[in-house]
Amino acid sequence: MQDADALPLDYYTVFVELKSQLADEFDFVAEAVAMDRVYQTVSRTPEGLPCEPPLVIPRPVPGLVSKRVLVMDYLPGVPLSRARDEMIKKGIDPDGPEAKLFGRKLLRALTETFGRCILETGFFHADPHGGNIFVLDDGSVGLIDFGQVKQISGRNRETLGKVMIALAESEGRPEDYDKIGKLALELGVEINPDAKKEAAPAIALWLFDGSATELPGGYDMGELSPNSPVQELSSFPQDLVLVGRSTILIKGLSSRLGIPWSLANEWAPIARSALGIGRDSASKKESRVRFRDVWKTLKQWSKGRATKAVQKMPSPIRTKVLSAIVKRQEKKEQHR
């Protein structure tokens, strides 16, 4: 049993937040409303146009929802916690190119879903774990169990967006870290009085950039390391506890999959859109936006046909094709 003083921060705020969430865990009418609300966010562009959701969200069946009963779409597949065993059963190497390709798809689906929900509306699924994330039979990603959701304040949502942009635009200069640190403190993060001045930006980088190999101030990446920036936290804002839970899940998945992944880089474009940065130029291109969404839908359709074609290839050829796709995606990520 670990001594409370050895923990990286006071978990009182974490438990208070979880207590408030559990009160609504079994209100199925509220869950159905939450499910629809998240679906509406990710199934439309910020301009309000229909788009392909990054993952599958079941829809409640009208007329079959009450406070104690919830009937929804059935998602054929297995929870992420059992995906590795299922791959082995199907003769797929869990460490091979096919699994690696799906890993990138999984990270992108979760990153886009949580990024859009947190930064655009502030309302998001607050209980992501390996039992609630599904690998569907057609290779897509599903998300279930909307009993726990969270609405963060508009002010925190905007400041969080500014943190993402500052992290993505940082070149590692002292003035960049100063800006990130000030924004982190605006979120309500409290630092130990004797902490280094780089503690706040190091915490932000640790939380939102899983691709980082170094932290400012010489801090370590490990959460329980004596030199972790998390050790410098004296208090974490309750409003953002479940945001942290979502980011740590994605960060943990990227680490387990061996795929460097920066939430800051991925969320910065969403934040710019949500904050209206560049909105004037975007409005001038409204017709282009509409065409882009049509084109995206067509690409999704063709991608589905291509996926089926790859699945029918002989195993050696399929492995070579998938390996080439993985390498292409890795190269693309390096230039993001």
In a domain, 244, yes or no: yes
Distance CA 32, CA 64 (A): 10
In a domain, 173, yes or no: yes
Which of 15-24, 140-149, 235-244, 307-316 has the weakest average pLDDT? 307-316
| Total domains, the chain | 1
Distance CA 246, CA 125 (A): 9
Identify which of 59, 78, 87, 70 has the alpha carbon closest to the alpha carbon of residue 141: 78
In a domain, 285, yes or no: no
Q: For tokens 């949502």, name the residue.
A: 157
Which of 21-25, 75-79, 188-192, 207-211 has the weakest average pLDDT? 21-25
Q: Which residue has the higher pLDDT, 70 or 332?
A: 70
Q: What confidence category does residue 1 fall into, taking pLDDT thresholds of 50, 70 and 90?
A: very low
Q: What are the backbone dihedrals phi and psi of residue 295, each rounded to the nearest 5 degrees, phi first?
A: -65, -40
Distance CA 161, CA 170 (A): 14
| Predicted confidence (pLDDT) per residue in 182-192, tens digit | 999 999 999 99
In a domain, 232, yes or no: yes
DSSP code for 295: H
Yes or no: say if 244 and 22 are a contact pair by the CB < 8 Å rule. Answer: no
In a domain, 19, yes or no: no
SS3 283: helix
Asked if residue 282 has pLDDT above 90, the reply is no
Distance CA 175, CA 327 (A): 35
Yes or no: say if 65 and 71 are a contact pair by the CB < 8 Å rule. Answer: yes
In a domain, 229, yes or no: yes
pLDDT of residue 4: 47
Q: What confidence category does residue 331 fall into, taking pLDDT thresholds of 50, 70 and 90?
A: low
Q: Which domain holds residue 266?
A: 4-11+153-275
pLDDT of residue 220: 94
Distance CA 211, CA 263 (A): 9
Distance CA 23, CA 281 (A): 45
What number of helices (H) and strands (E) belong to the chain? 12, 9
In a domain, 146, yes or no: no
Yes or no: say if 59 and 145 are a contact pair by the CB < 8 Å rule. Answer: no
In a domain, 177, yes or no: yes
Burial status of residue 158 (CB atoms within 10 A of its CB: 0-12, 13-18, 19 or more): middle
Distance CA 180, CA 202 (A): 9
- What residues form DSSP beta bridges with 151? 123
